[in-house]
Amino acid sequence: MIKKLFNQKKTQNKRGSMLTLVMVILVMALILITSAITITNSTRSRYIDFTLTNQARTTATAVAESFATAIQTQEILDTDLEAMAAGDVQVSVSGGSIPGLTGASETETTVKFSQGSGYIYMDVSTTVGKKDNGTNATENVRVYFKHKAPPA
């Protein structure tokens, strides 16, 4: 009689232990899958931020170099440059898309001219990405041009 009682409990414990083992394995699998998805999502976000920053830097630098070249080759005359700097002119270009990067379709580049002591400043600011959800990158470039004031 005593042996029967002990044998019944052992078989009942085996069934419960198997269920517990399966539950532990499922919980561990769920934790591993969740962590893998989280790591993948954060890596993707960092990649997109890195790409947007590089695109903004490239665009701002290219705009600054284009204006500098146009001024050096006199496509933009010195008198026009002085007039833009004296009037604090600001030129903005919006729109466009980034080739190869879907979802980041908003680009805005602003060029502002101003004047200081002996220099004309050109500030280029480029923002790339969507402004709605906060996924954007902004890069600023400042170019200095030596300026000789006209004789009074």
- Rounded Cα distance between 103 and 108, Å, is 15
How many residues are recorded in the chain?
152
For residue 41 the two structure tokens come to 């999502």
pTM: 0.66
- Give the 3-state secondary structure of residue 57: helix
Amino acid at 53: T
Q: What is the mean pLDDT of residues 14-38?
A: 91
Q: What pLDDT score was predicted for residue 134?
A: 65
In tens, the pLDDT along 96-148 reads: 555 544 454 578 888 888 888 888 888 998 888 766 666 778 888 888 888 77
Amino acid at 102: T
For the CA atoms of the chain, what is the radius of gyration? 32
Amino acid at 14: K
Q: State how beta strands 90-94 and 136-146 pair.
A: unpaired
